[in-house]
Amino acid sequence: MRKCIVLASQSPPRPTNFRVGAILISRADNDPTFSDDRILSTGYTMELAGNTHAEQCCFSNFAAVHSVSEEEVATVLPVEEGRKLVMYVTMEPCGKRLSGNAPCVQRIIKTREGGRPGVHKVYFGVKEPGTFVGESEGCKMLESAGIEWEYVGGFEKEILKVAMAGHENAEQKVKEALGEAGGDDAEQ
Ligand SMILES: Nc1nc(=O)c(N)c(NC[C@H](O)[C@H](O)[C@H](O)COP(=O)(O)O)[nH]1
Ligand SMILES: [Zn+2]
């Protein structure tokens, strides 16, 4: 998650989205300390041209290395016995985008097309604040697609400060979002 926060802080601050970082990992099944994790790709919001999201850039970067388009990334993601693909993102993948572009949950689900294992689980450090799309749908959509997710607590303040750096009175917004997230340092 710390690596994702560093990625997110490379994103150009905008009032119209959040600065998010994402990492795609190949993880061994029987490796409780995750010591055998292999980072396959990284991405951060607006890393690539256009109005791009961190998860989208993460997939795009991997696809580019394998000379396919982001839409076809499922065809080049590794399928290895005894290993699964997991994704770490600072913020819950979006289920809806004000711009109308394809949401990241859809892109994550797409990695499983053609019966491929695709992304097995998503870890994130904050639920999406209500700033743009109100109640976030990401988790529910992942669940209904059979993709596991896990909330990694303890990074809320750091993640939201980076995510909202481009927003009007960001400090106040972060405080409110922390209140939403129920972060343990919400009262500060
Ligand atoms: N998970 C995630 N990764 C990102 O890289 C990013 N920027 C968001 N942000 C979610 C937020 O809901 C959308 O940024 C707004 O809804 C505006 O939509 P656009 O970004 O313009 O498509 N969420
Ligand atoms: Zn997104």
pLDDT(15) > 70? yes
Strands (E), 14-156: 21-28, 38-44, 83-91, 119-126, 148-151
Q: Say what the pLDDT of residue 188 is.
A: 42
Any idea how long the chain is? 188
pLDDT tens per residue across span 131-145: 888 888 899 999 999
Task: Report pTM.
Answer: 0.93
CB 39 within 8 A of CB 49: no
For the stretch 144-157, pLDDT in tens is 999 999 999 999 99
What's the rounded mean pLDDT across residues 83-104?
95
* Cα of 140 from ligand 2 centre, angstroms: 15
Mean residue pLDDT across the chain: 93
Whether ligand 1 lies within 6 angstroms of the CB of 7 is answered as no
Distance 96 CA to ligand 1 centre (A): 8
